[in-house]
Amino acid sequence: MKKSLPILILLILLAVLPHIGVSSYIMHILVLVIIYSMIGMAWNLLGGFCGQVSFGHAAYFGVGAYTAGILYSKLGLSAWWGLPLSIIVVTALSLLIGSICLRLRGPYFALGTLAMGEVLRVTAENLVKFTGGDVGILLRERTWVGKTWYYYIILLLAIGTYLLVKKVIESKLGYYFVAIREDQDAAESMGIDTTLYKTIALCLSGAITGMAGAFYTNYMGYIDPKVVFNLHDISIVTIMVVMVGGVATYWGPTIGAIIMVFLAEIIRSNPGLGAAHQTLFGILLIFIIIFLPNGIVGDFPKLRRLLRLGGTPT
C-alpha cells in the first residue's frame, strides 16, 4: 500500500496533465519522452537483462512504422491497424534477424544488428514501389488535431510495456535472461536453451519497439526511411536512454528518456550549441560510463553520495 501510493499519485498526475493548460509544444516533448521510454524498456529487456546489446533497434522501429504507413498508403486502411499488425510483422522480422545475429556473441552481435538496421534503411529507401522511397509516406489527415489522445494512447502503451517487462523479468524467463547475460555456457549447462530464450527476448523487444514505431506513424503523420530507420536518433539514442537511466532497471529507461529528450531540446534550441548536440551526447555517454556505469537509477546511492560530498564537504 505504502509502495503503491507514489505510483498512484504519478498516474493521476499523468492523467490530468493534458487538462491543466500545458502547451502543445510541451505535450509533444512528453509524447517523445514516452516513446523513447517505451523503446528503452524494450531495448533493456534484450540488452540490459539478456545481455544482447543491439545497435539496430531502428530496424524494428522503422518496420513497425512502415507497417502502419503501408497499410494506409497501399491498402487504404487506417494506420492505427499498424499497432496490432506491427506485432506480427516485427516478430517475424525479429525471428529472421535473430536467426542470423543471435549466432554471434558480444560485440559481434552488436555489429550484426548495426548492419541489419542500416540494411533495412537502405532497403526502405530503394523499394520505392512499396515504401515510396525517400519521398516517404504522408497521412493526409491525422486522427486528431490536438495531442491529448495521442498522449493517452502512448502512455497506455508505455504502462503496458512497463508491466510486461516487470512480469517477464520476475518470472522464469527473467531468471533465464539474466543467467544468459552472466554466462552463456554456464546457462546452457544448467539446462537453459540459450538460443530459444535469446530469441524470445529479441522478439519481445522487437515487437514492443515496432509498436512504438507504428504509433509514431500515426502521431507524426509522416515517415521516411531517414527518420524512422535513423541510426543515431533511434538506435543509438535508445542505447543512451538506457545507459543514462540505468541498465537492467525498471525505471532506468524512463528516467533516461526524460533526461535525453529534454537535453536534446535544450541543446537544439540554443543556436550556439545546436549543431554540436551529437558531440555533447558523446561526451555525456563517456561521463556516464566512467562515473555511473549502472546509470542514474542503478548507481543512485553512489550518485547521492557524490552529490552530498560535493555539496557539503565535511
Partner 1 sequence: MSLLEIKDVSKRFGGLSALSNVSYFVDKGEILGLIGPNGAGKTTLFNVVNGFYPPTKGEVFFKKEKISHLKPHQICKLGIGRTFQVVRPLRRMTALDNVIASSFLHTKDKVKAEEIALEALRFTGLYEDRNVLSKGLPLGKRKKLEITRALATQPELLLLDESFAGLNPSEQNELIDIIRQIRAKGITIMVIEHHMKVIMSLSDRVVVLNYGEKIAEGTPKEIGSNPLVIEAYLGEAESA
CB 139 within 8 A of CB 72: yes
Least distance CB 197 / partner 1 (angstroms)? 10
CB 253 within 8 A of CB 212: no
For partner 1, the closer CB: 111 or 168: 168
Least distance CB 298 / partner 1 (angstroms)? 11
Q: Which of 170, 172, 164, 249 is nearest to 205 (CA)?
A: 164
Least distance CB 192 / partner 1 (angstroms)? 6
Where do contacts with partner 1 occur on this chain (CB under 8 A)?
170-172, 175-176, 178-179, 182-183, 185-194
Q: Which of 2, 133, 148 is nearest to 73 (CA)?
A: 133
Q: How far apart are CA 60 and CA 90, in angstroms?
A: 6
For partner 1, the closer CB: 53 or 120: 53
CB 252 within 8 A of CB 263: no
Least distance CB 189 / partner 1 (angstroms)? 5
Least distance CB 289 / partner 1 (angstroms)? 17
Least distance CB 168 / partner 1 (angstroms)? 12
CA distances to 76, 87, 201, 220 from 248, rounded to whole Å, are 41, 23, 13, 30
Least distance CB 11 / partner 1 (angstroms)? 27
For partner 1, the closer CB: 57 or 181: 181
Least distance CB 177 / partner 1 (angstroms)? 10
CB 168 within 8 A of CB 174: yes
Sign of CA dihedral 192, 194, 198, 199: negative
For partner 1, the closer CB: 58 or 192: 192
Q: How far apart are the first and last CA of the chain?
A: 38
For partner 1, the closer CB: 190 or 273: 190
Chain centroid, CA 156 distance in Å:
15
Chain centroid, CA 152 distance in Å:
18
For partner 1, the closer CB: 62 or 98: 98
DSSP 184-205: HHHHHHTT--HHHHHHHHHHHH
The pairing of strands 222-223 and 137-138 is: antiparallel
For partner 1, the closer CB: 227 or 297: 297
CA distances to 105, 283, 287 from 150, rounded to whole Å, are 38, 33, 35
Q: Which ranges of 56-183 does DSSP label H, i.e. alpha helix? A: 57-75, 82-101, 107-126, 128-131, 148-169, 172-182
